[in-house]
Amino acid sequence: MTAAYVDSSCLVAVLLSEPGSAALARRIERQDVVCTSTFLEAELAAVAVREGVSMDERQLDAFAWIQPQRRLTPEIARVLSVRYLRGAGLWHLACALYLFDDPTGITFLTLDAPQREAAGKLGFLT
C-alpha cells in the first residue's frame, strides 16, 4: 500500500494548471491513500477566489483529512529540529508526523523546496 501526505502547494499548482501539474496530479492519483490537513481546504479556497477560478470540491473527497485533536507541540519541535519553516509549511509537516510517527515509506508531496528538504531529513520520501 502506498501513502502520501500532500501539502497545499501541490493542489494549488493543479488548480491553476501550472507547468508540471498534470504529472503531479498523476503522482497523487497513484497513491492508495492520500492525506492532508484540513488547513489545505482554506488555502485552496483562498487561491481559487484570488485567481478567479472554480474549485471542484468533489476532488477533495478523495483525501483522508487530518484534524489533530491535540496540540502538535512535539511534532512542531521535531520539524524545527531539522529545519526552520514558516507557519503553513511547518503545520503541514507537523500534521504528517502526527499521522505517521514513523514516516519511513511515506511520501510527502510539496513544491516548496525548504519543506521538501525538511521532509527528507525527517525520513519521508519526497
Identity at 112, one-letter amino acid code: D
pLDDT tens per residue across span 35-82: 999 999 999 999 999 999 998 888 899 899 999 999 999 999 999 999
pLDDT tens per residue across span 111-122: 999 999 999 999
Q: State pTM to two decimals.
A: 0.94
Give the chain as a 3 state SS string: CCEEEECHHHHHHHHCCCCCHHHHHHHHHCCCEEEEECHHHHHHHHHHHHHCCCCCHHHHHHCEEECCCCCCHHHHHHHHHHCCCCHHHHHHHHHHHHHCCCCCCCEEECCCHHHHHHHHHHCCEC
Read off the CATH number of the domain in which 46 is found: 3.40.50.1010
**Whole-number Å distance between alpha carbons of 85 and 79:** 8
Q: Is the pLDDT at 13 greater than 90, yes or no?
A: yes
Structural domain for 27, as ranges: 3-122
How many domains does the structure of the chain reveal?
1
Identity at 101, one-letter amino acid code: D
